[in-house]
Structure 1
Amino acid sequence: MLYRKLGSTDLKISAVGVGTWQFGDEWGRSYDQREADAILGRAAELGINLIDTAECYGDHLSESLIGPAIRGRRSDWVLATKFGHHFHGPFERTDAFDPQDVVRQLEASLKALQTDYIDLYQFHSGPDAEFDTDGLWDVLGRQVEAGKIRHLGISIGSNRNVYQTSKATEVGAQAIQVVYNRLDRAPEEEVFPSCKAQSLGVLARVPLASGFLSGKYKPGATFPSDDVRSRREREDADRLLREAEEIKRTEVPEGVDMASWALAWCLRHPAVTAVIPGCKDVAQVEANAAAVALVAAGHPQDA
């Protein structure tokens, strides 16, 4: 495994992490504790130490599976979670960025994760008006002082949101999470330059473009109604899958797994600290971890 320093923090994280939205029952299936234990246990064996989750992957459901899975090994992991929403049902959320509500969300996350601190607590895809909520960042700063949060981050909803990115240092945030993959390179234009200027760590989410860069799907592919990908317009999905086929034909070396190539492609960018792909099973954890073999040393954030 490769390890990198997350921006100006003291966190040494694996270049490949584990995204856990799938544990929230919105990716076409449910998970039990045994399955979560197996996925995170194998990740640890492979040297992965970064877990990314959120308050609204289920109603703290994803967090409640992670907590027991890492019990007794908490110090081996870097836990990143988020705040800003109340989960009401599959694909149903409401914003909740009131400072006191955010403190309650933090306490619920700590309880679900069975820990007394969060390594990276991230503003979760809220609009700029909510980002500027009076007192929000002051309250979060006090939670940092209390030791319940080690570092603050911002998970921007739009991968062109340079407003929130540019204010990261001002509000005390040290990392940006953003959608970035070979099919969506928008962050390269303004977000990444701002991150580099501020020495912010960058977590690239959706690095496999929701599986479209896995090499498993062809144009015309369909997804069940309880899979978040079913909500994408058919024309848009087919366009991306056609583009992915062309990338596989012209850019992916022969004999190289496309998913591993796609993760490594993200990790080569000098602004990107780590990728946080989801994984439905142990085999996908292993495939994701293998991507580091395609990444050369010499990255600016190498630990």
Structure 2
Amino acid sequence: MKYRRLGKTNLDVSVIGLGTWQFGGEWGIDYKQKEVDAIFNKAEETGINFIDTAECYGDHLSEEFIGAAIEKNRDRWVLATKFGHKFHDLYERTRHYKAEDVQKQLEDSLRALRTDYIDIYQFHSGTDEEFDNDALWTMLDKQVEAGKIGHIGLSISKNDNTYQTKHAADIGAKSMQVVYNRLDRTPEEEVFSLCEEQDLGIMARVPMASGYLSGKYKPGAVFADNDVRHRHDKEETRKKLEMVETLYNTEVPEGVPMSQWALAWCLKHPAVSTVIPGCKNPEQVEANAKAAELDIVTNNHPQATQK
């Protein structure tokens, strides 16, 4: 495993992290604790040390699984979670960014995670109006002083959100989470450079484009009703799968699994500290971790290997 500094946090994080939305039950699998434990055991074995979750992946359900899995060796993990949404049912959320609501969310997350501190506490896909909230940032700054939060982070919902990115340092943020993958390169246009100017550590979420870049799905693929991808626009899904097939035939080097190529592709950008793919089992954790070893030619280089 390789590690990079996560911006001004000065935390060294594994370049391959562990995304955990799937533990909340919205990706076609309902997990048991022993299954989550097996995933974390494999992550530890491969050298992964970075975890990303959120209070709304289930009603703190993902956090509860994680808390039980890492309780005995909490200090070896860099733990990031998020605030701002309340889970009610599958794919149903309400938004809560008032200072008093977020303080309760923080306490609930600490309890679910079985810890007394969160390394990175992230503003989760809020609007600019929700972002402009002095009371919220004052409250969170006090939680940092109290030691319950190590660092504040942002997780923007729109990849071209320059307003929140430009003002990240103003509210004390030290990291930025953004969707970035071979199918969506929008952050390269302006967000990445703004992050570099402020020394914000970048976490690339959805690096395999919600699994479309996993190499498992061909044009015409259909997702189950309890899989969040079932809710995606059907025409957009068709276009993505056709583009994925083209990428596989023109950019992925011979003998390299597409999923590993997709992760390594994100890490080619010098602004990116870590990628946070989801995983359904220990085998996928191990496969993801191997992407850290790849030094492959990507589409950024015209001499990319052709099949």
Q: Which bracket does the TM-score occupy, shorter chain normalised? A: over 0.9
1:223 is matched by which residue type in structure 2? F
1:9 is matched by which residue type in structure 2? T
Match of 2:271?
Answer: 271
The two structures have a TM-score, normalised by structure 2, of 0.95
Match of 1:199?
Answer: 199
The answer to whether the 8 A contact 1:260-1:290 is kept is yes
The gaps in structure 1 that reach 5 residues or longer are 297-303
2:177 is matched by which residue type in structure 1? Q
1:250-269 residue pairs with structure 2 within 5 A? 250-269=250-269
1:274-285 residue pairs with structure 2 within 5 A? 274-285=274-285
1:209 is matched by which residue type in structure 2? A
1:112-151 residue pairs with structure 2 within 5 A? 112-151=112-151
2:127 is matched by which residue type in structure 1? P
Kindly state the Cα deviation for residue 8 of structure 1 after the two structures are TM-superposed. 1.3
1:10 is matched by which residue type in structure 2? N
1:234-255, CA deviations, whole angstroms, 9 ceiling, x for partnerless residues? 1100101111111111111111
1:253-291, CA deviations, whole angstroms, 9 ceiling, x for partnerless residues? 111111000100001101100000000001100110000
Give, in whole Å, the separation in 1 of the partners of 2:4 and 2:271: 11
1:79-118 residue pairs with structure 2 within 5 A? 79-118=79-118
Of all paired residues, the percent bearing the same amino acid is 62
Match of 1:247?
Answer: 247
Match of 1:236?
Answer: 236
1:67-114, CA deviations, whole angstroms, 9 ceiling, x for partnerless residues? 010111000000000000111100000100000110000000000000
Three-state SS of the structure 2 residue aligned to 1:270 is coil
Give, in whole Å, the separation in 2 of the partners of 1:286 and 1:165: 33
Three-state SS of the structure 2 residue aligned to 1:54 is coil
Match of 1:188?
Answer: 188
1:21-60 residue pairs with structure 2 within 5 A? 21-60=21-60
Give, in whole Å, the separation in 1 of the partners of 2:107 and 2:248: 45
2:234 is matched by which residue type in structure 1? R
Three-state SS of the structure 1 residue aligned to 2:54 is coil
The answer to whether the 8 A contact 1:79-1:120 is kept is yes
2:71 is matched by which residue type in structure 1? R
Three-state SS of the structure 2 residue aligned to 1:150 is strand
Distance 1:87 1:212, change over 3 A: same
Kindly state the Cα deviation for residue 134 of structure 1 after the two structures are TM-superposed. 3.6
1:24 is matched by which residue type in structure 2? G
Kindly state the Cα deviation for residue 133 of structure 1 after the two structures are TM-superposed. 2.1
Match of 1:300?
Answer: none
Give, in whole Å, the separation in 2 of the partners of 1:8 and 1:102: 23
Moved over 3 A (4+): none
1:20-62, CA deviations, whole angstroms, 9 ceiling, x for partnerless residues? 0000000011101000000011100100000000000000000
Give, in whole Å, the separation in 1 of the partners of 2:228 and 2:178: 18
1:224 is matched by which residue type in structure 2? A
Kindly state the Cα deviation for residue 9 of structure 1 after the two structures are TM-superposed. 1.2
Kindly state the Cα deviation for residue 233 of structure 1 after the two structures are TM-superposed. 1.1
1:266 is matched by which residue type in structure 2? C
Three-state SS of the structure 2 residue aligned to 1:202 is strand
Match of 1:291?
Answer: 291
Give, in whole Å, the separation in 2 of the partners of 1:134 and 1:254: 52
Match of 2:223?
Answer: 223
Give, in whole Å, the separation in 1 of the partners of 2:91 and 2:241: 23
Q: 1:159 aligned to 2:159?
A: yes
Give, in whole Å, the separation in 1 of the partners of 2:292 and 2:85: 33
1:113-141, CA deviations, whole angstroms, 9 ceiling, x for partnerless residues? 00000000000001111111241111110
Kindly state the Cα deviation for residue 10 of structure 1 after the two structures are TM-superposed. 2.3
2:122 is matched by which residue type in structure 1? Q
1:192-214, CA deviations, whole angstroms, 9 ceiling, x for partnerless residues? 01001111100000000011001
Three-state SS of the structure 1 residue aligned to 2:178 is strand
The answer to whether the 8 A contact 1:267-1:295 is kept is no
1:177 is matched by which residue type in structure 2? Q
The answer to whether the 8 A contact 1:208-1:262 is kept is yes
Q: CA RMSD in A?
A: 0.8
Three-state SS of the structure 1 residue aligned to 2:213 is coil
Give, in whole Å, the separation in 2 of the partners of 1:257 and 1:65: 29
Three-state SS of the structure 2 residue aligned to 1:135 is helix
Q: 1:6 aligned to 2:2?
A: no
The two structures have a TM-score, normalised by structure 1, of 0.97
